[in-house]
Structure 1
Amino acid sequence: MTKIFIDGKAGTTGLRIYQRLSKYSDVELITLSEAERKDTAARKRAMNQSDIVFLCLPDQAAREAVTLLDNPETIVLDTSTAHRTNPGWAYGFPELSDQHRESIINSKRISVPGCHASGFIALIYPLVESGILPKSAYLSFHSLTGYSGGGKMMIAEYEDPDRDKSLNSPRQYALGQNHKHLIEVKIISQLEHLPHFSPIVSGFYSGMQVTVPLFKEQLTSGKTVQDVVQVLKQKYQGPIVSYIDSLDVNGFIATNKLQGMDSMQISVAGNEDRILLLSVYDNLGKGASGAAIQCLNIILGKEETYGLEI
């Protein structure tokens, strides 16, 4: 019986992980009472009694939580930004390469990818890896997300029947180009420059759509949109991340298309000159808890889709 503790079970990501784990008959969940869940001594005891710990905490709290571990055998899956670019931690996106998958299997420390970052990296990493897109490329992307990604406070704001009318329209944020996912996307995608990033939150619960626009001149000389499609199609053949020929229905892409699911769909649109790289998924699924559970399944030697909604 594998003992698992979720530090931060009350949050949106922690709660979704807890729900997914309810399907596991071979897992014992270590839980704390409401009075104990913020008690450092109780948390430390639970963590060191566990085979696997999920950290579903703010960044600084996640860093502090790691220092509580004395048990050298405990595996940590961190859903925060805290350790995603730390070379001592595996990056939890196994579809990127065999090396990423092996790192998850062999590491005691795994960092779960960021929600916005997942969609960008899924699109750009294979193109840089294959040489279709140079590492020196100057890129931009925008990401449309449901409000659940903002946590309990934002959820309460959007679900308030008397909410401010500004919440009735999409809202762009991180206008200073300092979003915390930027370093992650640069380093993991092996880029030399930070991209421009425009995240947008809107009035639906969950779902995410990332778009990376490219001019053909940004591709390596001699490469075309057909090369882009071929590489992405070969890279993503399921069952969790899949390339599909078209994401739209009657010319529209619904950002909540995969709401409640743990999968991701990748596609390419546009034309020969102006290319659109597209990814659609749930910010709470492959963008958070679903990715964490997928990594757990790899660690436990289970089917990667076990306990997931695909």
Structure 2
Amino acid sequence: MAQALVFIDGDQGTTGLQIHERLRGRDDLRLLTLPESGRKDPARRAEAINSCDIAILCLPDGPARQAAASIVNPAVSVIDASSAHRTHPDWVYGFPEMEEEQAGRIARARRVSNPGCYPTGAVALLRPLVDAGLVPSDCPLAIHAVSGYSGGGRAAVQAYEGPDAGEAPDFQVYGLGLAHKHTPEIERHARLSQRPVFLPSYGAFRQGIVLTIALQARLLPAGVNGARLRDCLASRYAGSRSVRVADEAETAALERLDPQSENGTNNLRLAVHANEAAGQFLLSAVFDNLGKGASGAAVQNLDLMLAARA
């Protein structure tokens, strides 16, 4: 089988470098890169993207749209790691486990939008529960998440690892205008009919995410309890290599959630915590924002698309 030619546009950024590392040593593909002098040359980039089999865009939103628009070769497939196309109807959402047919859609697609890091956890938790009618689509939801500072890109990494690192805060909450760009993505792909409140934060660690969503039993359909929520998630992700749902015993044994526990993997760990007497539940997701939240997901989607070409 001929090697697939893969072009990573933006290969010097955090996600691009991680993708390079994950693809290192593979003999089923060949990586196309541009020299530093050609990375900002629109003609060189357009030539590269139109000559590859699959392009992975690791760019800010504006340049990602420009790169996608420059494609004139109908044989080229694209995985966009930016947020530019995550709610676009012509792009397939690149979360293979989201529903039964999603992996097949990704494999056949020419345009795939990689999920955002925070939405990966939120959609993984909410979509099965909304589909099953256990969480109403109009349920008032508040989503809280803390990420390692690498989620802020190169500028944030420099702030925490550069010469002025001592001045970087140990913890910071942002998105206080409640207009974070990930919110429409969560709303759309979790199939919510009402916009959730989404409040992100960074900690003074490089990578990893803990995302939580609180639920009140009084706002859910009658009879919904922790076991039903947990069983719904476990059923949706049964057999998944990347997504695992903690069972009741594992959840009861958890005393804390470590955002760094899945670093270096493509794993997504979900749990349902319950205080049945108080009628309160907490959904949690733990994963690597540079793994399943970015480069790991891109490589997972790439493998699906390569398999379809074989």
What TM bracket, shorter-length normalisation? over 0.9
Query: 1:243-278 CA distances to partner (integer Å, 9 max, x unpaired)?
Result: 123368761211111111111101111322110100
Query: 1:210-247 CA distances to partner (integer Å, 9 max, x unpaired)?
Result: 00000112222232221101001111233111112336
What is the CA-CA distance between 1:163 and the residue it aligns to? 2.8
**Unpaired runs of at least 5, structure 2:** none
Query: Is the contact made by 2:226 and 2:274 (CA closer than 8 Å) also made in structure 1?
Result: no
Q: Which residue of 1 aligns with 2:219?
A: 218
AA at the equivalent of 2:233:
L
Q: Which residue of 2 aligns with 1:125?
A: 127
Supply the distance in 2 between the matched residues of 1:199 and 1:257 (Cα, whole angstroms).
19
Q: Which residue of 2 aligns with 1:193?
A: 194
Would the alpha carbon gap of residues 75 and 225 (structure 1) be closer, same or farther in structure 2, given more than 3 Å must change?
Answer: same
What is the CA-CA distance between 1:154 and the residue it aligns to? 0.8
Q: Which residue of 1 aligns with 2:255?
A: 251
Equivalent residue for 1:282, pick from 246, 263, 288: 288
Runs of 4+ in 1 over 4 A off after TM superposition: 247-250
What is the CA-CA distance between 1:128 and the residue it aligns to? 0.5
SS at the partner of 1:102? helix
TM-score (normalizing by structure 2): 0.94
What is the CA-CA distance between 1:160 and the residue it aligns to? 2.9
Query: Is the contact made by 1:84 and 1:91 (CA closer than 8 Å) also made in structure 2?
Result: yes
TM-score (normalizing by structure 1): 0.94
The 10-residue stretch of structure 1 (153-162 or 51-60) with the greater mean CA deviation from structure 2 = 153-162
Q: Which residue of 2 aligns with 1:260?
A: 264
SS at the partner of 2:202? strand
- Counterparts in 2 of 1:96-175, with a 5 A limit? 96-160=98-162, 162-165=164-167, 167-175=168-176
Query: Is the contact made by 1:266 and 1:278 (CA closer than 8 Å) also made in structure 2?
Result: yes
- Percent of aligned positions with the same letter in both sequences? 39
Equivalent residue for 2:87, pick from 68, 85, 88: 85
Query: 1:154-185 CA distances to partner (integer Å, 9 max, x unpaired)?
Result: 101111354354x3421000000000000000
RMSD over equivalenced CA pairs, Å: 1.5
What is the CA-CA distance between 1:102 and the residue it aligns to? 2.1
AA at the equivalent of 2:189:
I
Q: How many residues align?
A: 301
Query: Is the contact made by 1:210 and 1:280 (CA closer than 8 Å) also made in structure 2?
Result: yes
Q: Which residue of 2 aligns with 1:176?
A: 177
Q: Which residue of 2 aligns with 1:74?
A: 76
Query: Is the contact made by 1:146 and 1:202 (CA closer than 8 Å) also made in structure 2?
Result: yes
**Unpaired runs of at least 5, structure 1:** 303-310
Please say if 1:18 is aligned against 2:24. Answer: no
AA at the equivalent of 1:5:
F
Would the alpha carbon gap of residues 163 and 247 (structure 1) be closer, same or farther in structure 2, given more than 3 Å must change?
Answer: farther
Equivalent residue for 2:307, pick from 301, 305, 309: 301
Query: Is the contact made by 2:129 and 2:135 (CA closer than 8 Å) also made in structure 1?
Result: yes
Supply the distance in 2 between the matched residues of 1:249 and 1:179 (Cα, whole angstroms).
34
Q: Which residue of 2 aligns with 1:206?
A: 207
What is the CA-CA distance between 1:130 and the residue it aligns to? 0.8
Query: Is the contact made by 2:8 and 2:56 (CA closer than 8 Å) also made in structure 1?
Result: yes
Q: Which residue of 2 aligns with 1:64?
A: 66
